[in-house]
Copies of this chain bind each other. A is one copy, B any other.
């Protein structure tokens, strides 16, 4: 089927990965010579790879005992990946159910560097064109997803909506820091965010955040639909359904809710 895709394989990388794999597969920390005799690679070569892998902290070099084991860098990566995978796996079934209930698109997004980025998306079988793809970025201030997350961020992240970042996307986009801050208060009070044609004309979204065990808003989920389809009664239903789903997911992520609060811990604001 494919030609020879190993034309593009870079040997040093491939061999270094073998070394990494071997080290991580052992149940104990290993010595240089152990690796060499196992992988049948020249000693000098393995030595260099180990130095490189150590420098990248994928591998830990125990100087005293001259043994190599899994490094903190590798573990950090693995942990970050696990966290996201878990989030996606927990959220997806709820997203499918919401999509089926309302027959509208449901999005999952996280905050990344002043933007929200779409991480998952479930779409109904309608002709209406999709407006975003997994991996796309949108501004924080013009999306319900962004608002839902930012509202529950600690105060230290206020930099996210300083004046010059409030770029107008449509005629309705909020561009004043004051108005935005007021909306944030609403979001915190009600537990969900609304956006109406502020990001794309004629499109409205309802967004709700998920919290981890530290009360941090890891991600948000939104239902987005053409404004004219979202009659007031549907909107009310959708808000409830989204909030309930988000609460279930948050609880599975380890968040604890006290009483009827929307956020598990008191968010760090006035």
Contact = CB atoms under 8 A, between A and B. Distances in A.
Given A28-B117, A77-B24, A81-B78, A55 B135 contact: no
Interface residues of A, number: 49
Nearest to A67: B135
Given A27-B112, A119-B28, A10 B17 contact: no
A265 interface: no
- Most-contacted residue by chain B among A47, A48, A118 (CB, 10 A): A48
B117 A24 contact: no
Given A24-B77, A135-B29, A17 B117 contact: no
Contacts of A34: 135
Nearest to A218: B27
Given A28-B118, A77-B24, A119-B27, A9 B58 contact: no
A268 interface: no
A13 B49 contact: yes
